[in-house]
Structure 1
């Protein structure tokens, strides 16, 4: 069984940019398409993109399938990647306490009134689903 946490922990920020392209299309892509999509957000050379894709394949996060050219597909979903990074942040900065994260956001004025109301609604929905179970 693949340890997803180990795989995701090894993804660099640059590699995550490559993954975002794959996640956005939700399909396998040839390097030419990946390069075309990255041109909008980066100035990376083709060799840099190839290196990042090779590293992602070596890490077991992306798979390459050879057809007329290599096609790349992510083996890790954006949700899995986000959940791991969120939990990692909470563990590192807030000793595993999501409550302390929210308190920090509230205390630092990073959330506006609209954000706070949306969170209240989310918490209420969570309460209802637990009570109804």
Structure 2
């Protein structure tokens, strides 16, 4: 997994979500418009976040007639890092403890549990 992912802050993740959802490079105006609809951020805040992401190497800024921005890490990489970080911090690295917590706190309904059972069975087939 890319070490770049660990450098993304929560605010920067909001900017990244706009880029990931688009699925292609976006001009600043499009990013600004989307973020202004979702948050109360000023244009300067959005520019600062994009500048930081570019400096970290998480986003590639390309100057054409205007700046276009493209993510250099995938949403999947980011989600994997965030999930593992949560498991490490809260459950001492044990995904089993996370699932037990979700079941114990009734955060998973019967359909969710059945889906997980199916996923575990598929995983067993691969090992044989």
Same fold (TM over 0.5): yes
1:19-30 pair list within 5 angstroms:
19-30=16-27
Structure 1: which 4+ aligned runs deviate by more than 6 Å? none
Aligned to 1:9: 6
1:93-132 pair list within 5 angstroms:
93-131=90-128
1:30-41 pair list within 5 angstroms:
30-41=27-38
User: What is the RMSD of the two structures over their aligned residues, measured on CA atoms?
Assistant: 1.2
Q: Structure 1: where are the runs of 5+ without partners? A: none
SS in 2 for 1:111: coil
Aligned to 2:60: 63
- Is contact 2:60-2:71 (8 Å) kept? yes
Q: Structure 2: where are the runs of 5+ without partners? A: none
The number of aligned residues is 128
Tell me the TM-score normalised to structure 1 length: 0.91
